[in-house]
């Protein structure tokens, strides 16, 4: 034994092996720890002390503690009607596409090709779609991110678009309207959403962090209502709702909700797992302060009705003037 020890010591610089082993161990430990402290989680995720729940995201991602964050509670009686919010123009939404679905550890992303684009809606230019994803609750708990007059909806769909010519979130984040996010709230119905089962099946194939699958021949327009039903929406300026909380988002929250049955909700909530291995439930950020922001909504009156009202007002004014002058 003594001889073996001696020969090992003699084979290289004395102590080199043990010291290297020790520092390797330290480096590995440090990497493991820093990876964990850099991780963020959701409020109900119950991850251990080393990970950051939403109230502590800002310690690792400073922008999350900044002003004008998302999501928000929309108080309908405080919303300003804006006559200059035209309908959005959806480009490529009806195309047949293959989409890759990936479990990202905190949610599942459905990657969209750049042929899917968006403009109109008072947005300053054209935007390319990047991905869509959902926020949900768990076990009957609602899980939308935006709330309306304090009401949380069962689920919320986000379609993320990046302004042209930017190619990534990193490039777009310095532009106040670098990202256009479309939000659809789900409402529980007795009937199934007729086209959500392909999405549910895909989620069942990406149960663990990093796993991927492809949905062939997908139509984005199967998931959302026709454009003619999407003229009415709320608009405000905010941020991404996951770290780094980039403050560069023109938010559009549609009035029209999407249907989902309790069977479908149950199936969605039960399949995926977080990067921690625990069930992926309650994946939403708490609502953030308005910080003096104004939420706008489209004028719900039709153009014809507005023109009619204007004509009646002019007619009455003319009658009134005539009556006064005679």
Ligand X SMILES: *[C@@H]1O[C@H](CO)[C@@H](O)[C@H](O)[C@H]1NC(C)=O
From the list 13, 68, 80, 106, the catalytic residue is 106
Give CA–CA dist 3/7, Å, rounded: 6
The CB-of-257 to ligand X minimum distance in angstroms stands at 30
The residues with which 251 forms a beta bridge, in sequence order, are 181, 236
Q: Are strands 179-188 and 212-218 parallel, antiparallel or unpaired?
A: unpaired
Q: Which is nearer to ligand X, 12 or 50 (CB)?
A: 50
109 interacts with Zn ion by CB under 5 A? no
Give CA–CA dist 101/138, Å, rounded: 21
Residue with tokens 């005539």: 322
Residues 6 or more apart in contact with residue 139 via CB below 8 angstroms: 269, 281
Q: How many residues bind ligand X (CB under 6 A)?
A: 8
Residue nearest to ligand X (CB): 210
Out of 64, 70, 101, 105, the only residue in the binding site for ligand X (CB under 6 A) is 105
Q: Please, which of residues 243-302 interact with ligand X by CB under 6 A?
A: 275
The CB-of-34 to ligand X minimum distance in angstroms stands at 12
- Interface map 37-76 toward ligand X (x if CB under 6 A): ----------------------------------------
Q: What Rg value do the Cα atoms of the chain yield, rounded?
A: 26
How far is residue 240 from each of residues 70, 118, 161, 275, 294, measured CA to CA in Å?
6, 18, 12, 20, 18
Q: Are strands 155-163 and 179-188 parallel, antiparallel or unpaired?
A: antiparallel
The CB-of-137 to ligand X minimum distance in angstroms stands at 23
DSSP code at position 138: B
DSSP code at position 130: E
117 interacts with Zn ion by CB under 5 A? no
Q: Which is nearer to Zn ion, 231 or 272 (CB)?
A: 272
The CB-of-88 to ligand X minimum distance in angstroms stands at 23
The CB-of-283 to Zn ion minimum distance in angstroms stands at 9
161 interacts with Zn ion by CB under 5 A? no
114 interacts with ligand X by CB under 6 A? no
Six token digits for residue 128: 């390319």
How many CB atoms are closer than 10 A to CB 79? 16
Q: Are 179 and 163 spatial neighbours (Cβ–Cβ below 8 Å)?
A: yes
23 interacts with ligand X by CB under 6 A? no
Q: Are strands 258-260 and 179-188 parallel, antiparallel or unpaired?
A: parallel
Out of 158, 163, 235, 247, the only residue in the binding site for Zn ion (CB under 5 A) is 158
Out of 50, 98, 139, 321, the only residue in the binding site for ligand X (CB under 6 A) is 98
Residue 158 annotated as catalytic: no
Choose among ligand X, Zn ion, none what residue 275 binds, the Cβ cut-off being 5 to 8 Å by kind: ligand X
Give CA–CA dist 9/3, Å, rounded: 10
How far is residue 158 from each of residues 7, 108, 181, 223, measured CA to CA in Å?
64, 11, 6, 12
Residue nearest to Zn ion (CB): 158
Out of 119, 189, 207, 209, the only residue in the binding site for ligand X (CB under 6 A) is 209
Residues that bind ligand X (CB under 6 A): 96-98, 105, 209-210, 216, 275
Residues that bind Zn ion (CB under 5 A): 158
Annotated catalytic residues are 106
């Amino acid at each position: 034994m003594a001889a073996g020890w001696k020969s090992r010591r003699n084979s290289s610089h004395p102590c080199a092996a043990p010291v290297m082993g020790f520092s390797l161990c330290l480096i590995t430990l440090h990497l493991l720890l820093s990876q964990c402290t850099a991780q963020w989680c959701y409020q109900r995720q119950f991850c251990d002390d080393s990970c950051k729940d939403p109230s502590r995201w800002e310690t690792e991602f400073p922008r999350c503690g900044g002003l004008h964050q998302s999501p928000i509670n929309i108080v309908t009686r405080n919303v300003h009607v804006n006559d200059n919010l035209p309908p959005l123009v959806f480009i490529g939404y009806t195309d047949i596409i293959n989409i890759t679905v990936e479990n990202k550890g905190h949610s599942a992303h459905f990657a969209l090709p750049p042929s899917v684009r968006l403009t109109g809606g008072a947005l300053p230019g054209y935007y390319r779609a990047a991905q869509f994803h959902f926020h949900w609750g768990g076990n009957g708990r609602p899980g939308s991110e935006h709330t309306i007059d304090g009401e949380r909806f069962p689920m919320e769909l986000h379609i993320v678009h990046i302004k042209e010519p930017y190619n990534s979130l990193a490039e777009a984040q310095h532009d106040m309207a670098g990202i256009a996010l479309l939000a659809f709230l789900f409402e529980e119905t007795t009937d199934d959403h007729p086209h959500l089962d392909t999405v549910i099946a895909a989620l069942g194939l990406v149960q663990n962090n990093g796993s991927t699958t492809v949905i062939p021949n997908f139509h984005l327009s199967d998931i959302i209502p026709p454009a003619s039903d999407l003229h009415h929406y709320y608009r405000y300026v905010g941020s991404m709702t996951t770290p780094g909380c980039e403050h560069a988002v023109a938010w559009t929250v549609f009035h029209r909700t999407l249907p989902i049955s309790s069977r479908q909700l149950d199936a969605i909530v039960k399949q995926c797992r977080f990067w921690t291995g625990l069930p992926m439930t309650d994946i939403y950020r708490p609502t953030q302060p308005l910080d003096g922001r104004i939420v706008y909504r489209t004028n719900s009156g039709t153009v014809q009705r507005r023109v009619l009202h204007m004509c009646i007002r002019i007619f009455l004014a003319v009658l009134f003037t005539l009556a006064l002058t005679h």
